[in-house]
């Protein structure tokens, strides 16, 4: 475009020299044509801007981060003049569109359209705009360019992905089921009791039922009182979406992945986070996981949800000391976090601390016996993390 403008400027100057030294109808005709040409081209751009139409649609506006969703858009020329050069620019900070980029130019003949069927991937959990951001139109001689914002943008609500962790290498699962400490002494297990309406049929002890002639179910007191605690920081670290979206997405993704790992093994998960006051979200099995997932997806990170306050409030809950394992998901390591880990270890609780950020700071993975510390980057694949 710059080259075309230079060429046009040279031609206009030459036409001006022509009428100055030679005159004549031809010289004046060329001069007037070159003088009024930019006006005509600019009016053409205004015309295209008025009569050009965009249609776009997403298969579902409730998406899951990292998963493909059908997306299509149509460029329409519904008038009697051709549109020579149209470029479509997409929201690209938090989403990707397969097979399309901002460098593609489209030409539309009169009364025609171009339809593109592709797929959209949103990178992070949150609510933001995706699809076509703005449109750039250029005249026939490429002297002028007009870019305008798409007035009908698509806004989506994106939930965190559910990552299926195959294992947690640093954790012995037996630790989550049996425990004996001065805070939580195990009571003798009551092996069986009479079946009651609503009991899980998987808990029926068929051998004992056959001997007694009535249905008996297993009742394991220690296991029922056990479970896993997740202490999740919910502080918004910045007002810039580019700063807080990746961090919040990864913290929630990790909390949900841990919960999903344990509930599939019939281990109850208790998640604590701050929303004004300390909140607790529980899931006792795969049947209740969907409700847990929706609640965690809707968790609002706030600037006043201080991680230190959350940890202090969580330590005021005696129940976190009655469980064998606790996971701390925080965005930074603080004195309050160290004190919380100390209190948990004093009560024989296995602790894993997950610091989620992109700082290049080495973390001592094993500060002492029974504590695992790792750092997870906001773009890191949880399946490859050192959990």
Q: Is there a single domain that holds both residue 69 and residue 141?
A: yes
Nearest-angstrom CA–CA distance, 148 and 145 = 10
CA-based max dimension of the chain: 121
Is 165 among the domain residues? no
For residue range 280-293, what is the model confidence (pLDDT) as tens digits?
A: 999 988 999 999 99
**Parent domain of 232:** 173-179+226-384
Nearest-angstrom CA–CA distance, 281 and 353 = 19
Q: Is there a single domain that holds both residue 294 and residue 312?
A: yes
Is 186 among the domain residues? no
For residue range 164-202, what is the model confidence (pLDDT) as tens digits?
A: 998 877 666 655 554 444 444 444 444 677 877 767 676
Is 167 among the domain residues? no
- C-alpha distances (whole Å) from 383 to each of 137, 169, 258 are 44, 11, 11
Q: Residue 75 belongs to what H/E stretch?
A: strand 68-77
Count of alpha carbons within 13 angstroms of residue 145, beta-carbon side: 14
Nearest-angstrom CA–CA distance, 330 and 307 = 7
Q: Is 97 helix (H, G, I), strand (E, B) or coil?
A: strand
Q: Is there a single domain that holds both residue 295 and residue 344?
A: yes
Nearest-angstrom CA–CA distance, 191 and 221 = 9
Nearest-angstrom CA–CA distance, 53 and 71 = 17
Q: At what angle do helices 25-51 and 2-21 cross, to 10 degrees?
A: 150
Taking Cα atoms as reference points, which of 183, 203, 182, 185 lies closest to residue 194? Answer: 203
Q: Is there a single domain that holds both residue 260 and residue 325?
A: yes
Q: Is 270 helix (H, G, I), strand (E, B) or coil?
A: strand
Nearest-angstrom CA–CA distance, 212 and 379 = 57
The CATH number covering residue 42 comes to 2.60.40.10
Q: Is there a single domain that holds both residue 108 and residue 256?
A: no
Number of domains within the chain: 3
User: Residue 369: its pLDDT value, please?
Assistant: 65
Count of alpha carbons within 13 angstroms of residue 86, beta-carbon side: 25
Q: Is 260 helix (H, G, I), strand (E, B) or coil?
A: helix
Is 61 among the domain residues? yes
Q: What is the DSSP letter of 139?
A: -
Q: Is there a single domain that holds both residue 203 and residue 134?
A: no
Q: Determine contact, residues 91/127, Cβ cutoff 8 Å.
A: no
Q: Is there a single domain that holds both residue 153 and residue 54?
A: yes
Is 168 among the domain residues? no
Dihedral sign (CA 328, 338, 222, 170) = positive
User: Residue 253: its pLDDT value, please?
Assistant: 96
Nearest-angstrom CA–CA distance, 344 and 334 = 16
Q: Determine contact, residues 90/132, Cβ cutoff 8 Å.
A: yes
Q: Is there a single domain that holds both residue 362 and residue 285?
A: yes
Q: Is there a single domain that holds both residue 293 and residue 375?
A: yes
Q: Is there a single domain that holds both residue 210 and residue 283?
A: no
Is 184 among the domain residues? no
User: Residue 200: its pLDDT value, please?
Assistant: 67
Q: Which residues on adjacent β-strands are paired with residue 280?
A: 272
Nearest-angstrom CA–CA distance, 139 and 84 = 7
In 276-341, DSSP assigns E strands to 277-283, 325-330
- How many Å separate Cα 374 from the centre of its chain? 21
Is 137 among the domain residues? yes
Q: What is the DSSP letter of 189?
A: P
The CATH number covering residue 269 comes to 3.40.50.410
The pTM of the full predicted model, rounded to 2 decimals, is 0.78
Q: Is there a single domain that holds both residue 241 and residue 351?
A: yes
For the chain, which residues score pLDDT lower than 50? 178-190, 221-225, 367
Q: Is there a single domain that holds both residue 49 and residue 92?
A: yes
């Amino acid at each position: 475009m710059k080259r075309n403008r230079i060429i046009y400027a040279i031609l206009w100057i030459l036409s001006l020299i022509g009428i100055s030294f030679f005159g004549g109808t031809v010289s004046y005709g060329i001069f007037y044509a070159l003088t009024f040409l930019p006006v005509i081209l600019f009016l053409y751009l205004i015309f295209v801007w008025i009569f050009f139409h965009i249609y776009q649609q997403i298969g579902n506006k409730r998406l899951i981060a990292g998963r493909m969703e059908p997306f299509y858009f149509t460029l329409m020329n519904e008038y009697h003049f051709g549109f020579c050069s149209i470029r479509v620019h997409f929201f690209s900070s938090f989403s990707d569109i397969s097979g399309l980029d901002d460098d593609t130019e489209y030409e539309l003949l009169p009364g025609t359209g171009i339809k593109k069927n592709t797929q959209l991937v949103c990178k992070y959990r949150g609510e933001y705009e995706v699809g076509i951001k703005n449109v750039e139109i250029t005249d026939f001689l490429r002297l002028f360019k007009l870019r305008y914002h798409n007035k009908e943008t698509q806004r989506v609500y994106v939930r965190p992905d559910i990552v299926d962790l195959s294992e947690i290498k640093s954790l012995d699962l037996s630790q989550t089921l049996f425990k004996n400490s001065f805070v939580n002494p195990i009571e003798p297990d009551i092996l069986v009791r009479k079946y009651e309406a609503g009991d899980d049929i998987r808990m029926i002890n068929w051998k004992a039922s056959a001997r007694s002639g009535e249905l008996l179910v297993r009742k394991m007191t220690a296991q029922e009182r056990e479970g896993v605690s997740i202490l999740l920081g919910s502080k918004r670290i910045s007002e810039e979406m580019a700063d807080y979206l990746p961090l919040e997405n990864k913290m929630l993704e990790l909390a949900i992945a841990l919960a999903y790992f344990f509930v599939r093994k019939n281990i109850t998960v208790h998640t604590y986070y701050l929303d004004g006051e300390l909140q607790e979200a529980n899931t006792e099995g795969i049947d209740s996981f969907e409700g847990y997932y929706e609640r965690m997806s809707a968790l609002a990170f706030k600037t006043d949800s201080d991680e230190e306050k959350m940890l202090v409030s969580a330590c005021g809950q005696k129940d976190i000391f009655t469980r064998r394992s606790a996971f701390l998901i925080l965005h930074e390591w603080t004195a309050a976090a160290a004190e919380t880990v100390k209190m948990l270890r004093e009560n024989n609780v296995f602790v894993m601390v997950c610091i989620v950020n992109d700082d290049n700071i080495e973390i001592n993975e094993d500060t002492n016996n029974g504590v695992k510390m790792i750092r997870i980057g906001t773009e890191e694949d949880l399946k490859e993390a050192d959990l």
